[in-house]
A and B are shown apart, each in its own frame.
Chain A
Amino acid sequence: MITTNSYVLLSAILFTIGGIGFLVRRNVIVTLMSIEVMLNAVNLALVAFNRSMPKAHTGQLFAFFLIAAEAAEVAVGLAIVISIFRLRRSVRTDEADLLKN
């Protein structure tokens, strides 16, 4: 039996995977994908919670807004990645070390 709790548990697992991926991986593209996994975990949680509150569609609506805003954010993010790749020929976060005290 798949209940709301199963979905919420899945979203928690996805969120953790994304968070660990963000902290561990050093490739910017993979890091961006980890953030996407985290945001999609948020979407899943919102839609799952909405299932147990069928009177309004707040959670689903929120998820739509989130998808649109994510797209805008990633567009800017990829532009920054491209500009750093042009200048440094690398997309590894541990090689981005020009700014230090």
Chain B
Amino acid sequence: MLLAFALSPLLVVAIGALLLMLAEAFSKVRTGLALGTVVVFFAGLALSASVWLYGLESIPGLEVLAPWLIIDRFSMFMNAVLCLGGGLAALLAGGYLPEHKIERGEFYSLLLFATLGAMMLSASGDFLTLFIGLETMSIGAYAMTAFRRTSARSAEGALKYFLLGSFAAAIMLYGFALLYGATGHTDLAGVGAGVKSGEHAPMVLIAMVLVLAGLVFKVSAVPFHMWTPDAYEGAPTPATTFMAVAVKSGAFAMLLRVMLTCFGDARSMSWSSGWPPVLAWIAVLTMTVANLIAGRQESVKRMLAYSSIAHAGYLLVGVVATMKNPAQGSASVLFYLLTYTVSTAGAFGALILCGRFGAEAVSYEDLAGIGRRHPAAALPFSLFLISLAGFPPTAGFFGKWFVFRAAMEGGFTWLTIIAFLNSVLGAYYYLRVLVFMYMREPAAGAPIATPMRSGYVNFALILSAFLVVVLGVSPSLSLDVAVKAAAAFGGGAG
């Protein structure tokens, strides 16, 4: 019974997805699906919190699930972040899909199943469950990207995402197969022990490169980022939110678990012969390239896509910091994921709010003058952009602060300086939105944007604005939670 309680966040999302799918298929009523989805997500969030408070130490029999599912504080934290991200995306979908006349019930089941995949991904301790979770998440995301059937842009974004996503999955799977051949295990801990023993070193090295390439693709870091802007721009905005928030969080959870468990031995984690320098250079490239290209965009949605690539770069800095101190580095990544989730979901939500049917707000020009005409829509947008840029007193500031501090204390001063310079560079294009909203007027003859009205979107914005401010004013509680969650990796090589 207690075991079911420990699994309840996963179970409630899985059962909720099945029930909503049946309800959509057999009932004539179309309203309430969005509400049901939101309720399921927030039930998952509440259950993760209660399992956390109950204490996983006092639940016997969790080792029965290992290595398939590892239910620890790390996966419980990720469950909460993913349910929050999924819940915000569901709220946005509840407003966006009816407004743009594309509401069909499948979207909500896809959203729930994809989140379930991401939750499974962050809890899996075996390549098999990891792969199933990854596919569940990705297939749902592909389908959601292609959701607007009449739009060639939506289909094209989905096609690029699907082709490159399957290619990356195949590369990663070949890495898994080689690791299985080299160590005889498919569970992460067993592979880690085999890698540590140093047998079959050349094969392990090739496998590490393949797995790393697949993982870096999934977190959409440069040079494997080409699909991201296209998929994000083509997808309906709630699906974009989901990809930017939940898919990225799930991928980072997978990255941390695989790298620290399979390749957590002293040799693989050293600067001279391991993965940290590779990830450090990828982080530098990701931040710089994404920030430079983001500044040249004319579409705000595409700018936010490049911004999410840049944030993957900052997160990779935190992953590199695990080299010296696994617990501190992963804690900073987890906390950053939380702040990034609320800021990004809020920014996409505000973008949704600024448009309506037939006149979706996409470009900077669409937003011109909206700050004076509709301050209630522009104000939360400004807050989320300031948080993404990393100014105090918002969540984004502390997210960056803890990642940079982990990198500094790990001895990566040069990397921290590059990351800091990049976040200054990033402020340019976030503030450019504010300039357009408050200091420009729409060009003569251009259509004047009016915000849509939706209780769902308003609620999503209020919720994420509340969290952005709370995390920005008193981050200590949630940071404490992130530190406890990351303690699972405290026993790394160091």
A, B co-complexed = yes
From A46, A59, A96, give the contact of B160 (CB < 8 A): A96
Query: Within the assembled complex, what's the spacing in Å between the Cα atoms of A85 and B233?
Result: 20
Tell me if A76 counts as interface (CB < 8 A to partner B): yes
| A residues 29-74 in Cβ contact with B at 8 Å | 31-32, 35, 38-39, 41-42, 45-46, 48-49, 53, 58-59, 61-62, 65-66, 69, 72-73
Given contacts A49-B180, A98-B152, contact A73 B135 (CB under 8 A): yes
* Across-interface contacts of A66 in B (CB, < 8 A): 131, 173
Determine whether the beta carbon of B131 is less than 8 Å from that of A73. Answer: no
From B166, B178, B180, B185, give the contact of A77 (CB < 8 A): B166
Given contacts A28-B163, A80-B162, A83-B149, contact A58 B142 (CB under 8 A): no
Tell me if B177 counts as interface (CB < 8 A to partner A): yes
Chain B residue at smallest Cβ distance from A41 = B174
* Across-interface contacts of A59 in B (CB, < 8 A): 177, 180, 186
Query: Within the assembled complex, what's the spacing in Å between the Cα atoms of A15 and B176?
Result: 14
Measured between C-beta atoms, what is the minimum distance from B454 to chain A in Å?
27
Determine whether the beta carbon of B173 is less than 8 Å from that of A39. Answer: yes
Determine whether the beta carbon of A101 is less than 8 Å from that of B180. Answer: no
The B contact surface, by secondary structure, is: helix
* Across-interface contacts of A65 in B (CB, < 8 A): 128, 131-132
Chain A residue at smallest Cβ distance from B143 = A76
User: Interface residues of A, CB < 8 Å — how many?
Assistant: 42
* Across-interface contacts of B128 in A (CB, < 8 A): 61-62, 65
Measured between C-beta atoms, what is the minimum distance from B141 to chain A in Å?
10
* Across-interface contacts of B131 in A (CB, < 8 A): 65-66, 69
Chain A residue at smallest Cβ distance from B138 = A73
Given A48-B181, A62-B186; 15 other pairs, CB 8 A cutoff: A18-B170, A35-B166, A38-B174, A39-B170, A42-B173, A49-B177, A49-B180, A59-B177, A62-B180, A73-B138, A80-B162, A83-B146, A83-B149, A96-B160, A101-B296
Residues of A within 8 A of B (CB): 8, 11, 15, 18-19, 22, 28, 31-32, 35, 38-39, 41-42, 45-46, 48-49, 53, 58-59, 61-62, 65-66, 69, 72-73, 76-77, 79-81, 83-84, 87-88, 93, 96, 98-99, 101
Please list 11 pairs of residues, one from A and one from B, whose beta carbons are closer than 8 Å in the complex, sorted by A's number.
A11-B177, A31-B163, A42-B173, A58-B180, A76-B162, A77-B163, A80-B146, A84-B152, A87-B152, A88-B152, A98-B156
